[in-house]
Structure formats: C-alpha cells, structure tokens
A and B are shown apart, each in its own frame.
Chain A
Amino acid sequence: MKETSPSLQGLQSWMQNALIDPQQASREQIEGMVASSSRLNSSQRLAIYQRNYHIRLLKCMREQFPALCHALGADLFNDFARQYLQTYPSISYTLSDLGKRFPAYLEETRPDRQETSDKRESWIDFMVDLAQFERQLFVMFDAPGHEGKPFANLHSPDSCLKLQPCFALGDYRFPVAWYYHEVKQNNDPPFPPLQRSPIALIRKNYLTHTFSLTGVQYIFLQALSRGLKIEEAIAVAAREAAQPREQVYRSWAQAGSTRERWLEACFFIVGD
C-alpha cells in the first residue's frame, strides 16, 4: 500500500467501505491511506467519520419512524436500523428515501419467515405494519397535492367526482394509525391486539388526515383509485361484499353519511 498510491476511485471505494463496515479496514490499510496528525493517529482520524456516518443516519431513521422507535425502544430500533443500513446503504441523493426499503427489510429478515402466517410472531407483523404506515405518512407529507385549487363540494354530481391526487389507502392487520397518534400525544400505548384496520389518508392544507374505513368502504375507494366512477365503484363494492347494491348506495348517498363526510374532508376533486 505504501509503495504505490491508489487511484482516486480506489481510495474512495476503500473509504466508503470503511464507513459502512468499520471492521473491513485493517490498521495497515488505514495507515497507508490516512496521515496522522499531531494529536490523533490515522485510525482515530478515520474513526471520526465512521462514528458520524452511523450516528447521523440512525438519527434520521429514528425521525422517519418515531412510532416504531417508540414501540421497539431506541436501542432495539437502532440495532435494526444499523443492520438495515449495512444491507441497504442509501442510494439516493435525498435523505427522504433513507427509510424507503425499511418496511420490506423488516419483513424479509424476520426470523419466522419460513413459518406459515398463523404461526408467525404477531409483534413482528405489527412492527412491519407500523413501519409501512409511517413510510406512507412520510411520502404523503411531500407528495404532489391539490393545495391552492378547489375541491369538489356537496353540489358536485357523482359522475364528476374523482379522488384527489394526495390520497392513499392502507389495509393493516393492527390499528397502527391509532397507535401512531397515541405516541404523538406522548402516551405510552400498549401493543394493540390483532384487528384489521383499513384506512384512507388524504392531505388538505398540508396536513395528512387518517380516516378509518369499513371493509366495504375500502373496496369502494380501491375501485375509485383504479379510476372507476362512483356508480361503478358502488357496483363493485356491493358485489365483493355480497350486499344489495341499493344498501351500498344508501350508505353512500343518504344525508349525513359517507358522501357528505368525505366531500367535507376533501377526498374529491371534480374530474374532467
């Protein structure tokens, strides 16, 4: 290493590896690459970068998944996040993508992944669901939206209603939205029991609102997000939920029901 200087490319990939996995860099290599100073030797100087790389990115992960961090406790969360960053280092110029692959990573590395779903640990399911929910909120925060433009109102005909652009659906095995907002209120919620929790997320005035849904409402909104009209989505929901079409229509349209509430909540814009 001393005789010939590595190329710029060689030096950079060596240093990067030494940051991501500090065990990889031997003392001889470090001494060949990094000069010592009057106060610190080569390894100590490199160690400043090594520590900072991990501290900085773990802090960003905790801030992208605050409720999951609360659920696991900071130490266990840091362990998972450290392993995640070693398997999937950031490949994006923006830190907003840092947690993008984390929910999938938690699922693919679960120790019980060989078991059938009924034999799996339910707290891991909860962890994966919560990570997905937090990622979804993170994406909604900065996604293109409809702020500054008009939403549909109670007088807009059904045939023109279209879901607004900053809209998402989630179908969770646990009440993750409830859990998340309990953490937000500085409560210390218990792990919630298994309970299917379909939700809709919409952004209005740059605030992301979470609505819990019934199973039929979820099917209905799923159909709308595939581009179907209200009338067609009602037919789909009635068929899939094995309910009479009139009943589904009534629960949509009658005074004080879904249509009114969702229009007031800015679910819809007027389509072309």
Chain B
Amino acid sequence: MERNGTGAIASLPKLGLGLGLRSLHFDQIIEQQPAIAWFEAISENFMDSGGRPRWAIRAIAEHYPVVLHGVSLSIGSTDPLNFPYLGKLKALAEEVKPAWVSDHLCWTGVQGINSHDLLPIPLTEETLSHVAARVHQVQDFLERPLILENPSTYLTFTQSTLTEPEFLRQLVEETGCGLLLDVNNVYVTCFNTDADPLAYLDSFPWSNVIQIHLAGHQHCGTHIIDTHDRAVEPAVWELYRLARSRSQGASTLLEWDGNIPSLAEYHAELLKAKQYMDENGKPMAIAEVSFNNKESVSTPVDFLVPEVMGNTIWEQK
C-alpha cells in the first residue's frame, strides 16, 4: 500500500539540533560558518527566488545539512493539488538536496484562494481518505517521503470523530509518510481543545517521527496563540523531554519567526534542549504558565516577506 514509505523514513539521518534559516542571519552564517548542526529553510522563500535568497541557500547548503519546510502545500484542501507549485518545490530540492521535505497537516484555502494560514481539518474518515490519497500523489511526484507536521489549532469541528494522534497514526499506516512532531503545537492545541498533552503523546505514532519542533507561544488566558516570537515555555520543554526520548533522538529544530533574536541568542535557546535529553524521558510536572491577555498574531508570516527597503540605493545625479 505504501510506496515511498517507512523504508525511506528509517534511512533519514539524525541531524541533531538545528535552527530556522532566517534572512537576517544569512550574511553571518555564510561569512562565519558558525557551529550549528543544520538549518530548516521555508521552501516558499526560495523556490521562486532569482535574487539573494537563492544565492544564500545555495551557499549555506554547501556547508550545512538543510531541510525544506513548506507552508503552502495545503494537503487537506479540496482544491486539486497545485502541480506547478510541486514542480518548483521539486526543482529546489534537486538544487539544495535537503535531508527531507515537510509541510503541515492543514489546508490553506479553496477555490484558488490562499489564506496564508494553516487551517484545521475536520478529523473524520472522509478527510483521512482524502488526505491519504493526496499524500500518495505528492510522494510519487516528489519521489521522496513527505513529512507532515501537527499544526496549532484554535477550534474543533462538530463533525470530527478522531483525535489528531489517531488520525496521524492511520495516515502513517496508509501512506508511510513521516511526521514532524511540534511539541509546542501539541501544548497549544491541547490547551485550546481541552485535551491532555501527555495522553496526546501517549497515543502518537512514534515510529514515523523524524523531526521535532520547539517554539514559543503566548498564553491569553482563554486560549494559547502559537506566536513563534519568544523563548520556549517550561511546560513545552517537559513535553520535549518525553518526545526526544520516545522518538529515539529525532532531529530537533527551534522555530523563531517574530522578534527574531541574534544568531547567538537563538542558538543559545536551542542548546537548552541538551538539558532535556534524558534517557528515560519522564516529564516533570507540566505547570500552567502565567498569561497575558494582549493577543499577538498566530504563526506570523511577515518574516516570509523580504525586507526590500534595506537593499535599495538612490543614485542622485
């Protein structure tokens, strides 16, 4: 049944601790080649680039392992798959030779429209067979396993009948795809959907987890927003301890997309992960964190838009 599945997943490398590749760090990475194990690049920032971003990712991929992480595949959408998009993704992958290619279990729009948000899918048998068929198509087209990430969600649909871990377990069995487990998203989604994060992790299909995401979030009291703009919360580190052990050392990446700090500060936050690599992986108590009612935007995307003004010169004559 699976075609590009588990065999391929098992052979994917363990990359250690990596950082998101952000344009404000390009020069420093290329010039100084700091000791960072690997980088995760947002596919859409590079696939159409004929300018500096494309040059930078080529230069960086010569010295570091890179993985491609997309936000526009829209695997759960009822629109047809966008093959011109997939063609560009495949061409980029041929150029930078990523260790793997990932995206999210979500939909981003229908009727040709893109909301540029990672929207939740109803967790039903209907959605499952729809998504599974599309994962097969994508894997066949890209000729590599697809790695899918659990998104942060803020609502559940009345028609949902499956939990997210159950949905992913069946999807993995059906397609052999890999999983990117975002432990911050687990925390956020579980809070927002009245679920228990430990029970979520207990029922997760660990065999196919090849990457873990860490990120910061904002607690608004009645809900949590996945902001990627600050340090990782203690409770999320505790989930990481468990995930790292259950996934047998899956590659770990810290996401940071808003208020992006210096590379040194970003790397220092990532290296805290070493404190949570216990053998037995038992989480300490998962405490509720303090909250703040001022709401920031979820999964900011403005970092996807290049800062053009800094690259312009007015030749007065």
Contact = CB atoms under 8 A, between A and B. Distances in A.
Interface residues of A, number: 71
Nearest to A147: B55
A206 B52 contact: yes
A60 B50 contact: no
A59 interface: yes
Nearest to A46: B155
Interface in A253-272: 261, 265
A89 B113 CA distance: 6
B55 A211 contact: no
B308 A16 contact: no
A8 B157 contact: no
Contacts of A64: 305, 308
B8 interface: no
A12 B78 contact: yes
Contacts of B315: 209-212, 265
B113 A90 contact: yes
Interface string A226-268: 0000000000000000000000000000000000010001000
B154 A49 contact: yes
A253 B125 CA distance: 74
Contacts of A20: 113, 115
B50 A207 contact: no
Contact of A63 (B116, B194, B302): B302
Contacts of A166: 50-51
Given A63-B305, A66-B309, A94-B72, A34 B48 contact: no
Contact of B302 (A56, A90, A261): A56
A215 to B, nearest CB: 15
Given A56-B301, A91-B113, A210-B313, A37 B306 contact: no
Q: How large is the interface on B (under 10, 10 to 19, 20 to 34, 35 or more residues)?
A: 35 or more
Nearest to A45: B155
Interface stretch (A105-113, A136-144, A156-164, A188-196): A136-144
A216 interface: no
B218 to A, nearest CB: 12
Contact of A138 (B111, B116, B301, B308): B308
B259 interface: no
Q: Which one of B158, B193, B316, B317 has the highest number of Cβ atoms from chain A below 10 Å of its Cβ?
A: B158
A136 to B, nearest CB: 10
Q: Which one of A38, A141, A148, A210 has the highest number of Cβ atoms from chain B below 10 Å of its Cβ?
A: A141
21 contacts: A9-B110, A12-B107, A12-B110, A16-B109, A16-B115, A34-B158, A35-B156, A37-B193, A63-B307, A66-B309, A89-B113, A94-B48, A96-B48, A96-B306, A142-B52, A147-B55, A181-B314, A209-B312, A211-B317, A212-B317, A265-B315
Given A8-B124, A89-B114, 20 more contacts: A5-B159, A9-B110, A12-B107, A44-B222, A45-B192, A49-B155, A60-B302, A60-B304, A89-B113, A90-B114, A94-B47, A95-B44, A96-B305, A96-B306, A141-B52, A148-B55, A177-B314, A181-B314, A210-B312, A210-B315
Interface of B: 44, 47-55, 72, 77-78, 82, 85, 107, 109-117, 119, 121-122, 124, 126-127, 130, 154-160, 192-194, 222-223, 225, 295, 297-302, 304-309, 311-317
Task: For the complex of A and B, list the 10 residue pairs with the smallest distance between their C-beta atoms, beginning with the closest.
Answer: A144-B50, A93-B72, A45-B155, A181-B314, A9-B78, A142-B51, A206-B52, A5-B159, A48-B154, A39-B222
